[in-house]
Structures are given as C-alpha cells and as structure tokens.
Amino acid sequence: MESGPAIFAGAAFTLFGGALLLWTTVRALHREPVAHGIPPRAAVALTSLSGAVFLTLGVWCFGRL
C-alpha cells in the first residue's frame, strides 16, 4: 500500500526533472532565452540545477521502495 505514492512521486519528479533538463538544453543550444528578464547564464544555471534536483529526488523516491 505504501509503495503506490512513492512510485507516483518518483515518476512525477523524474519526468519533470528530465523534461526540464531536456528543455533547457534545447533552448540553450538554439540560443533562445530560457527565462525572460534574467541573464542567459543565470537562467541556464538555475534551471539546470532545478532539473538535477528534481531528477535526484525522483531517483531517491524510487530507491525508497
């Protein structure tokens, strides 16, 4: 019973983190803005860090099963 929420949370965090990292990479490679009103280097760094944190959190959730 307790593994259901862990699987859902792990899947949600992993998918969101991976998608955020992929989106950031594609935007940066095409030299398009990642976030409006923020310097490009800061936006790429912040979104990459956030994506890595969410991906790590998802893997941690799966590891708790």
Q: How confident is the model at residue 64 (pLDDT cuts 50, 70, 90)?
A: confident
Query: What are 17-54's pLDDT values in tens digits?
Result: 999 999 999 999 999 999 999 999 999 999 999 999 99
Domain holding 29, by residue range, is 3-63
Report the Cα–Cα distance between both ends of the chain, in Å, rounded: 11
Domain count, the chain: 1
Rounded Cα distance between 26 and 12, Å, is: 21
Is residue 9 classed exposed, middle or buried when 0-12, 13-18 and 19+ CB atoms within 10 A define those classes? middle
What's the mean pLDDT when you consider all of the chain?
93
Quote the pTM value. Answer: 0.86
